[in-house]
């Protein structure tokens, strides 16, 4: 055990910090859940990509920087410390990218990865359906083979920022006789294909944060299939593993929130201390963010020595989603009656974050599903 | 940056675990704890044969020269097998205390080799603890005296102290109120040196307690998983019911996120990190929370069986309950953290983790 950074790691941190110091926009961008904000964030991503910062863990030849996971943690720490813009193409960079690298053909990698790194390809996810939420294996949207195409019919929903995205990856039932996780195929679908209708869903914050997608005789080339026909479940599970696991929620995000919460508390200490439980909640926020960071470093170091992340990723998902809720609830309590004033500059980000935190225990596999996974796969308890 | 243990450290942990599983089985511990002394010289001798008492002693005094990071694995085993306080107090906390005395100090030369070969027990007090554990059988008692002149440390033989025994709900504990008189002849450290010894000992013992609490949480989880897999109601193992699963999944999460905090704290103690105190307190608080959650969920999963004397769960629950307030209760550790973190210029935020 050696809890110090190597000179190379320290130098990398300085390099990231310097670049961000001179490039992060001074004015914060509009919300990426709006058309205007989405385009602003896309331009920022292209800017990151030009400098090689958009997908630091990807190999250099695919538009990345070839960083190891410790460097990724360092990059994220500097990124969040600099209050740089939110990352609008995480679906592509963190979820699809690694899946493509694992399952994609050389042609697919060449076709999709560089554009994803540059954010010319902006990805939406196509998992959930009206009757397939926590029970994802209940998917009924079909992709029936017709020569060198699949013909898609059905409906996907809760697809984040699909109104603004131009591509989708997701699961479709290619064998109509199949059930559950058999007979599913993983496809990459251009959202401008004829027969696709996208209908925005207004989220809690009033913005078009996600959408329903309807497929009516949509023709998708077989070349857009990732992995084998009928093997989509395993390919998708790899994506779900990345999402729940290390990458989706970097610890620096919560450390930054905890730090801001401490600062908020310090600015309003007198009024906050009228409720003695607030000080404790602020401390707990810091403790939780640190614990999540330490667990990430611990996991990253084990992964770099050859360990695989398995069902323990489910503990991560529960931890960060509950931490995020607790931190934002605490901020609301500190802000008191002002907390509802959405245009108040001190309130705005906390309020938006508070609303978004409500979703954390639901998306990426509900926390109840995660607890089942922990009990059945880590503890070996029998299925119900 | 390498936040892992090496193969030797993990192998030692595993072998200690295998040894304690046989030699410190609950039925054996119950027998020992029922005696007045509550300690077994025979078991201590076996533990010494395994090299456990020599871990912290420097090599020049016949020990293995291991440090706090190694101990963060070992203390989890001590917790898991409910090994009473005397072992860690002697072989870890007191060994490190004596090692921190100036080179050539008579006490070092006399006691460190005896710790290593397992032929002594040392009891150690601290201003943060109202009572002292394991004084009756101690060959040496290390006690602080808080006088108007400041803090000083004293070394006393068993004949120099009188004890009033304070029975604990945890049958493994041997607490007492100690009466003694500090004097020039007993004094071993004064002034800044004594203060530094007290601070370092507190942080080390805090991390020691945290490690044991994590081990206790894991034991209570394992007992509950075994029980939930075997006990049937409505024709099925109760572990197949989601309500039961979710209780235990919550314990897993608490333990998984307490361990890395514990390891950072151990490293901070070993390397005299400027944030040592905060990190130690953090570890103790999350470990206590994991252990108390484990106890709460474990007794619920065990049903009425968990409320009995007969089922072993009670041994581990009681240790978890009492260690929560040992070496600083939650109020103490929270206050310490609040003071350090909620002041201006505290090292918070991304990049301040190590």
Q: Which domain CATH number covers B267?
A: 1.20.140.10
What per-residue confidence (pLDDT) applies to A307?
A: 86
Query: In this complex, do B286 and A372 lie within 8 Å of one another by their Cβ atoms?
Result: no
Give a yes or no: residue A180 inside a domain: yes
- Domain annotation covers residue B349: no
Say if the Cβ atoms of A384 and B242 lie within 8 Å: yes
Nearest C-alpha in B relative to A255: B349
* Over residues A132-138, mean pLDDT: 93
Considering the domain boundaries, does residue A383 fall inside one?
no
Q: Do B350 and A368 touch (CB under 8 A)?
A: no
- Who among B225, B344, B350 is closest to A379 (CB)? B225
List the domain range (segments joined by +) for residue A272: 245-378
pLDDT at position B288 is 98
Residue A245 has pLDDT above 70, yes or no: no
CB contact under 8 A, A298 and B246: no
Q: Of B131, B165, B193, which residue sits at a domain end?
A: B193
Q: Strand runs (DSSP E) across B40-149, as ranges?
A: 122-124, 132-133, 140-147
Assess contact for B290 and B50: CB atoms under 8 A.
no
- Residue B338 contacts A, CB cutoff 8 Å: yes
Catalytic residue among A243, A280, A326, A376: A243
pLDDT band at A106 (very low <50, low <70, confident <90, very high): very high
Overall average pLDDT of the A362-381 stretch: 95
Q: Does B337 sit within 8 Å of A379, measured CB to CB? A: no
What confidence score (pLDDT) does residue B196 get?
Answer: 97
CA distances from B88 to B94, B135, B195, B290 (A): 8, 14, 22, 21
Is A346 annotated as catalytic? no
Judge whether B73 is closer than 8 Å to chain A, CB to CB: no
Picking from A180, A203, A231, the residue at the C-terminal end of a domain is A231
Q: Which of A169, A203, A231 is the last residue of a domain?
A: A231
Instruction: Please count the residues of chain B.
Output: 354
Same domain, A203 and A259: no
Residue at A273 is within a domain: yes
The predicted pLDDT at position A246 comes to 72
What is the pLDDT at residue A337? 97
The residue of chain B nearest to residue A295, with distances taken between CA atoms, is B260
**Numbers of helices and strands, H then E, in chain B:** 12, 9
Residues of B in contact with A300 (CB under 8 A): 3
- B-chain CB neighbours of A383 within 8 Å are 240
**B235 burial level (CB within 10 Å; 0-12, 13-18, 19+):** exposed
Question: How many other CB atoms are there within 10 angstroms of residue A253's CB atom?
Answer: 20
Average pLDDT over residues A318-326: 97
Greater confidence (A308 vs A182) lies with A182
Residue A244 has pLDDT above 60, yes or no: no
SS3 B251: helix
Tens digits of per-residue pLDDT, B309-354? 999 999 999 999 999 999 999 999 999 999 999 988 888 999 999 9
Residues 6+ apart with CB under 8 A from B156: B140, B141, B142, B143, B180, B186
Q: Is the pLDDT of residue A195 over 70?
A: yes
Residue B45 belongs to a domain: yes
Tens of pLDDT, residue by residue over A33-88, are: 999 999 999 999 999 999 999 999 999 988 889 999 999 999 999 999 999 999 99
Q: For position B162, which CATH number holds?
A: 1.10.540.10
Q: Residue B147 has what pLDDT? A: 82
pLDDT of A61: 87
Note the pLDDT of residue B142: 98
Rounded to a whole number of angstroms, the distance between the first and last alpha carbons of chain A is 41
Q: What is the pLDDT of residue A241?
A: 65
- One domain, residues A252 and A373: yes
CB distance from A291 to chain B under 8 Å? yes
> How many domains does chain A fold into?
3
Residues B62 and B163 in one domain: yes
Measured CA to CA in angstroms, residue A323 lies from A282, A360, B76 at distances of 11, 10, 26
pLDDT digits (tens, 9 = 90+) for B266-301: 999 999 999 999 999 999 999 999 999 999 999 999
Are B60 and B184 part of one and the same domain? Answer: yes
- The owner of tokens 């935020």 is B349
Structural domain ending residue among the three candidates A76, A100, A118: A118
**Residue A240: its pLDDT value, please?**
63
The domain in which residue B85 lies consists of 7-193
User: Do A84 and A176 have their domain in common?
Assistant: no
- Judge if B200 and B181 occupy the same domain: no
**Domain co-membership, B250 together with B106:** no
Mean of per-residue pLDDT scores for chain A? 94
Measure B151 CA to nearest chain A CA, in Å: 30
A83 to chain B: closest CA residue = B350
* pTM of this structure: 0.96
Distance of CA B333 to the CA centre of its chain: 16
ipTM over 0.85: yes
Which parts of chain B sit beneath pLDDT 50? none
* B350 with A376: Cβ contact below 8 A: no
My answer on whether A214 and A129 are in the same domain is yes
A209 and A250 co-located in one domain:
no
Residue A238 within a domain: no
Pair (B209, B307) in one structural domain: yes
* Residue A275 reports pLDDT greater than 70: yes
Is B341 at the interface with chain A, CB within 8 A?
yes
Answer yes or no: do A319 and B338 touch at CB < 8 A.
no
SS3 B83: coil
Of A252, A291, A382, the CB nearest to B286: A291
Residues of A in contact with B1 (CB under 8 A): 2-6, 9, 70, 297, 301
Tell me, yes or no, whether A114 and A133 share the same domain: no
What is the per-residue pLDDT for B247?
98
């Amino acid at each position: 055990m050696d809890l110090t950074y190597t000179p190379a790691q320290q130098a990398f941190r300085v390099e990231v910090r310097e670049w961000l110091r001179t490039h992060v926009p001074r004015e914060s961008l509009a919300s990426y859940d709006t058309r205007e904000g989405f385009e602003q964030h896309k331009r920022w991503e292209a800017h990151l990509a030009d400098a090689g910062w958009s997908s630091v863990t990807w190999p250099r030849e695919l538009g990345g920087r070839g960083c190891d996971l410790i460097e990724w943690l360092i990059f994220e720490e500097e990124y969040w410390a600099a209050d740089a813009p939110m990352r609008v193409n995480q679906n592509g960079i963190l979820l699809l990218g690694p899946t493509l690298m694992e399952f994609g053909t050389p042609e697919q990698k060449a076709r999709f990865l560089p554009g994803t790194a540059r954010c010319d390809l902006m990805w939406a996810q196509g998992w959930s359906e009206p009757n397939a939420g926590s029970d994802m294996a209940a998917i009924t949207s079909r992709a029936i083979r017709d020569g060198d195409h699949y013909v898609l019919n059905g409906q996907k929903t809760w697809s984040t920022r699909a109104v603004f995205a131009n591509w989708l990856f997701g699961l479709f039932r290619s064998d109509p006789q199949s059930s559950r996780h058999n007979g599913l195929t993983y496809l990459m679908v251009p959202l401008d294909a004829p027969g696709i209708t996208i209908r925005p869903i207004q989220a809690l914050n009033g913005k078009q944060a996600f959408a329903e997608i309807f497929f009516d005789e949509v023709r998708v080339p077989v070349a857009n299939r990732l992995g084998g026909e009928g093997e989509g479940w395993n390919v998708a599970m790899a994506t779900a593993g990345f999402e729940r696991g290390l990458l989706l929620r970097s610890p620096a995000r919560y450390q930054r929130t905890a730090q801001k919460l401490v600062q908020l508390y310090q600015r309003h200490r007198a009024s906050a201390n009228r409720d003695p439980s607030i000080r404790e909640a602020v401390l707990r926020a810091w403790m939780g963010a640190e614990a999540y960071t330490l667990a990430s470093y611990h996991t990253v170091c084990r992964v770099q020595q050859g360990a695989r992340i398995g069902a323990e990723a489910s503990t991560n998902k529960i931890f960060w989603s509950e931490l995020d809720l607790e931190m934002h609830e605490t901020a609301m309590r500190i802000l008191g009656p002002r907390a509802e004033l959405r245009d108040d500059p001190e309130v705005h980000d906390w309020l938006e974050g508070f609303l978004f935190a409500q979703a954390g225990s639901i998306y990426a596999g509900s926390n109840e599903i995660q607890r089942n996974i922990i009990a059945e796969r880590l503890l070996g308890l029998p299925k119900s | 940056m390498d936040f892992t243990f090496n193969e030797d450290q993990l192998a030692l942990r595993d072998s200690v675990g295998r040894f304690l599983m046989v030699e410190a089985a609950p039925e054996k511990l119950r027998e020992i704890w029922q005696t007045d002394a509550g300690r077994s010289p025979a078991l201590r001798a076996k533990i010494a044969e395994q090299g456990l008492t020599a871990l912290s002693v420097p090599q020049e005094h016949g020990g293995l020269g291991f440090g706090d990071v190694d101990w963060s694995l070992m203390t989890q085993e001590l917790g898991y097998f409910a090994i009473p306080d005397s072992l860690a107090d002697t072989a870890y906390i007191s060994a490190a205390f004596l090692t921190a005395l100036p080179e050539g100090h008579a006490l070092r030369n006399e006691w460190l080799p005896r710790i290593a070969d397992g032929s002594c027990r040392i009891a150690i007090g601290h201003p943060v603890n109202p009572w002292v554990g394991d004084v009756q059988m101690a060959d040496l008692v290390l006690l602080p005296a808080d006088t108007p002149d400041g803090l000083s440390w004293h070394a006393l033989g068993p004949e120099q102290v009188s004890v009033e025994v304070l029975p604990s709900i945890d049958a493994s504990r041997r607490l007492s109120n100690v009466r003694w008189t500090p004097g020039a002849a007993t004094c071993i450290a004064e002034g800044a040196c004594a203060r530094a010894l007290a601070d370092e000992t507190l942080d080390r013992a805090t991390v020691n307690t945290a490690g044991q609490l994590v081990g206790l949480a894991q034991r209570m989880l394992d007992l509950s998983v075994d029980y939930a897999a075997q006990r049937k109601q409505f024709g099925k193992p109760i572990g197949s019911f989601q309500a039961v699963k979710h209780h235990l999944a919550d314990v897993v999460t608490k333990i998984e996120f307490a361990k890395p905090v514990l390891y950072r704290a151990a490293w901070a103690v070993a390397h005299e990190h400027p944030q040592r105190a905060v990190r130690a307190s953090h570890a103790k608080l999350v470990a206590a929370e994991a252990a108390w959650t484990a106890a709460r969920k474990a007794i619920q999963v065990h049903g009425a069986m968990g409320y009995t004397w007969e089922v072993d769960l009670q041994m581990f629950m009681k240790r978890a309950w009492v260690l929560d307030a040992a070496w600083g209760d939650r109020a103490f550790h929270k206050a310490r953290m609040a003071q350090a973190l909620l002041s201006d210029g505290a090292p918070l935020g991304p990049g301040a983790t190590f």
